[in-house]
Amino acid sequence: MDFKVDGKTVMIIGGGFESYRKLQNFLDSSAEITVFSNEFSEDIKTLAAQGKVCLSQIYITDVQKFMVHLTIKPDLVLAVTNDYALNVQLVLAAKKLGCIVYCVSDPSLSDFILPAVARVGDVKIAVSTSGKSPVVARMLRQRIERLVTAEDLLEIELQVYLRKVLKNCETDQRVRSKLLNEILNNVDIKQALNEGKLYVAKALSLKLVQNKEATMS
Of 121-125, 151-155, 176-180, 201-205, minimum mean pLDDT range = 121-125
14-19 long-range contacts, Cβ below 8 Å, gap at least 24?
14/78, 14/79, 14/80, 14/81, 14/82, 14/104, 15/39, 15/40, 15/41, 15/44, 15/55, 16/41, 16/80, 16/81, 16/82, 17/41, 17/43, 18/80, 18/82, 18/104, 19/44, 19/78, 19/80
CB neighbours of 124 closer than 8 A, spacing ≥ 6? 117, 118
Q: Between 83 and 3, where is the model more confident?
A: 83
Amino acid occupying residue 26: F
**Cβ pair 87, 80 in contact under 8 A:** yes
- What pLDDT, on a 0 to 100 scale, did the predictor assign at position 123? 79
Q: What is the pTM of this model?
A: 0.64
**Cβ pair 191, 185 in contact under 8 A:** no
